[in-house]
Amino acid sequence: MNVTVVLQGIVSILWVLVIVLVILAVIRASRNLPARGLTTAIIVVAVSAVVLTVISAGLVFVQPEERGVVISAVAPKGYREQALQPGLNWIVPFFENVVEYPISRQTYTMSIAQMEGQIQGDDSITARTSDGQEVFVDASVIYALDPEQVVDLHIQWQDRYRDDLVRPMARGVIRDAISQYGVEQVYSSKRLELTQKITEAMRTQLDKNGLTLVEFILRNITFSPEYAASVEQKQIAEQLAQQARFVVEQRKQEAEQARQVAQGQADSVVINAQGSADARLIQAEAEAKALELLAAAILNKQDLLTYTYINKLSPAIQVMLLPNNSPFLFPLPTVGPAVPAATPAPSTILPSILPTPTP
C-alpha cells in the first residue's frame, strides 16, 4: 500500500474533523454554552492536520515502473538534475512537485484497421517505392523511456513524446526506407533487409531523444487495387507456368522410364542371344569332339560303321540275302578312300535289305 495515499487519507479525515468541531463550537457559542473543550480539541486536531499535510506534501512514493522528475522552486535550474528512483522520496513541501514518467515498454501502432492503432480509423503509412508504386504500410514501434534520460526527455518533450516524436519520426523513417526499394523487393526478396534498415534508423533517432527502441514490427504491406490485381494475375500465370513445367518434367520422367524398360528388354535379348550362341558353340564343340572320337573308333573297326548304320534303320526292316546280280536298296557305308567298284564274282553272296512283306 502506498504510504502517501494513506497519509493523505488521514489528513483529509483530520480536516473534516476540524470543520465539524468548528461547527459544533459555533453552535454551542450561539446557545451561550461553554465551548472550552471544543476549542482545545479544534486546536489539537488543526495542528495535527497541518503537520500531516506538510509531511504528506513532502513525501512522494515512486512506483518501480516509473521515474519522477522534480520541478523545484528552490533549485538553481528550476528542476533537480537527477530523477527520483522507485520508493519513498522526500521533496520540499509546496516548493517542489513531481512529474512521473513510465519506463516500462510502450507500443505505438499505425494500422489500416479501424480499431487497431492509437488513432481511430485508417492510420497506415502511405509510401512510394523507387519505381513509383504506392504502398500502404502497417507497423508497430515498441519502445521505452531511458531511465537515465528522463529529465532531458521532460525538458524537450514533456508528455508529448509519443504523438510529437515517436509517431512522425517512425512514419518518416519508413517512407525514406521504402523509397530505396522496388515494389517487388518491398513485399518479397528485400523485406527482411528493409525491416532491418528501418530498425537501425529508428533506433538512432530515438536514442538521441531519450528513448530506447525495443523492436520494430513491419506488420503488413498492401498495394493499390490496380497493382494488387496485376500481382494476382502474375501469380496465376506463374502457377500455370509451374504446372506446365511439372507436366513436362513428368513426361520426361515417363519417357526416361520407358527408355530404361526398352533398354532392359534389349539387354535381355542380347544376353539371351549371347547365351544361346554360347550354348550352340559349346554343343558344336562337343559334337565335333564326339565325331572325332567316333571317326577314330571307326577307322580301327570297320564293322562298327556297318553295325551303326543297320541299327539306325527302321525296326520294320530285316536283312535278307539277294542274288548277287540284284542292286542294293541301301548302299553300305565304306571307310577309307573310295575304290572303283569291280564286277562281283558270280558266286559272291552280298546282303541286301528289303522290307518284310506283310501277309
pLDDT confidence of residue 327: 52
The pLDDT of residue 339 is above 60? no
Confidence of residue 8 (pLDDT cuts 50, 70, 90): confident
- Provide the 3-class DSSP secondary structure of residue 157: helix
Q: Kindly give the interhelix angle for 191-207 and 167-178, rounded to the nearest 10 degrees.
A: 140
The pLDDT of residue 314 is above 60? no
pLDDT confidence of residue 320: 52
- Provide the 3-class DSSP secondary structure of residue 253: helix
d(CA 85, CA 107): 24
Residue 317 lies in a domain: no
Residue 58 lies in a domain: yes
Question: Do you know the residue count of the chain?
Answer: 359
Do 112 and 217 share a domain, yes or no? Answer: yes
The total domain count for the chain is: 2
Q: Is residue 67 a contact partner of residue 84, using CB atoms and an 8 Å limit?
A: yes
* Mean of all residue pLDDT scores within the chain: 81
pLDDT confidence of residue 206: 94
Residue 9 lies in a domain: yes
Do 126 and 181 share a domain, yes or no? Answer: yes
Residue 342 lies in a domain: no
The pLDDT of residue 51 is above 60? yes
Domain end, chosen from 190, 207, 223, is at: 223
Torsions phi, psi for 300 (to 5 deg) = -90, -20
pLDDT confidence of residue 318: 58
The pLDDT of residue 336 is above 60? no
The pLDDT of residue 248 is above 80? yes
pLDDT confidence of residue 198: 94
Residue 22 lies in a domain: yes
Do 125 and 213 share a domain, yes or no? Answer: yes
pLDDT confidence of residue 107: 94
- CA contacts within 13 A on the Cβ side of 248: 6
C-alpha cell at 170: 517512425
Residue 265 lies in a domain: no
Do 130 and 204 share a domain, yes or no? Answer: yes
Do 41 and 89 share a domain, yes or no? Answer: yes
Question: Which of these, 96, 83, 98, 88, lies nearest to 145 by C-alpha position?
Answer: 83
267 or 210: which carries more pLDDT confidence? 210
The pLDDT of residue 357 is above 50? no
Domain end, chosen from 42, 74, 101, is at: 101
pTM over 0.85: no
Do 87 and 111 share a domain, yes or no? Answer: no
Confidence of residue 292 (pLDDT cuts 50, 70, 90): confident
Do 84 and 139 share a domain, yes or no? Answer: no
The string of pLDDT tens digits covering residues 254-266 is: 888 888 888 888 8
Q: Please report, rounded to a whole number, the percentage of residues in the chain having pLDDT higher than 90.
A: 32
CATH number at residue 160: 3.30.479.30
Domain end, chosen from 51, 86, 101, is at: 101
The string of pLDDT tens digits covering residues 143-187 is: 999 999 999 999 999 989 999 999 999 999 999 999 999 888 888
Do 71 and 115 share a domain, yes or no? Answer: no
Domain that holds residue 59: 3-101
First to last CA, the chain: 146
- Provide the 3-class DSSP secondary structure of residue 329: coil
pLDDT confidence of residue 83: 92
Residue 71 lies in a domain: yes
Do 201 and 118 share a domain, yes or no? Answer: yes
Do 61 and 42 share a domain, yes or no? Answer: yes
Do 114 and 212 share a domain, yes or no? Answer: yes
Residue 358 lies in a domain: no
How do beta strands 317-321 and 125-128 pair? unpaired
